[in-house]
Amino acid sequence: MNETQIILAVLFPATALLSVAIGVRVIKSTAPGEQRKGADIEALAERENRYAVLVTMLLIGLLAITLFFIPYGEGAEDDAQQVTVEAFQYGWKVTPSNIQAGRQIEFRLRSQDVQHGFGVYQGDKLIKQVQVPANTPGSDDPLGPEQRMVLTLDEPGTYRIACLEFCGSGHHLMVGEFEVVG
């Protein structure tokens, strides 16, 4: 299992179940039945405080763990190969189109027009994708803001690019490819 699969298979269901358990607990604690027992208010308050501390610690713990799985803002290593990608209606310009296998790639992506989605495929499998922001209408700059995506491709071969954001009547034609050499 890779990191994403662990999150989807374990952490996400665990968090969902925990949320349900906490929800049930809260609903039960506010039910008239429990209040009528003439409970000791101070003991209840103390118990709720303990729960609040526990839940807060759990949430902070989960945040701390999952923060490291966020795939954005990842910086490239100093010796990464830089690949410039220009997105346009309807195609991709990748420079250089020959990329080395096993070495980190820093894609630098910009759009000539509207927002596009840069998806890299190996065969039918989507490896990674990122959005390419639109160029501001009326801007003097022929290209929009830069987006970056860091990726290492270990297997040589032809990788396909597909646009993953609807960008006009030719969106489905917006495909491309690049070579990764060993």
Residues near ligand CUA (CB under 6 A): 116, 163, 165-167, 171, 174
User: Please, what is the minimum distance in Å from the beta carbon of residue 172 to ligand CUA?
Assistant: 8
Q: Which is nearer to ligand CUA, 113 or 179 (CB)?
A: 113
User: Please, what is the minimum distance in Å from the beta carbon of residue 91 to ligand CUA?
Assistant: 9
Residue 117 tokens read as: 């989605």
User: Please, what is the minimum distance in Å from the beta carbon of residue 76 to ligand CUA?
Assistant: 24
CA distance 28 to 62: 25
* C-alpha to C-alpha distances, 130 to 43, 112, 115, 169, nearest whole angstrom: 52, 16, 11, 21
User: Please, what is the minimum distance in Å from the beta carbon of residue 178 to ligand CUA?
Assistant: 17
CA distance 99 to 66: 31
Q: Which is nearer to ligand CUA, 76 or 163 (CB)?
A: 163
Burial of 152 (0-12, 13-18, 19+ CB in 10 A): middle
Q: Which is nearer to ligand CUA, 151 or 174 (CB)?
A: 174
User: Please, what is the minimum distance in Å from the beta carbon of residue 117 to ligand CUA?
Assistant: 6
Q: Which is nearer to ligand CUA, 106 or 113 (CB)?
A: 113
Q: Angle, nearest 10°, between helix axes 12-30 and 41-67?
A: 160
Alpha-helix residue ranges (DSSP H) falling in 7-119 = 12-30, 32-36, 41-67
Specify the 3-state DSSP secondary structure of 78.
Answer: coil
Q: Which is nearer to ligand CUA, 92 or 159 (CB)?
A: 92
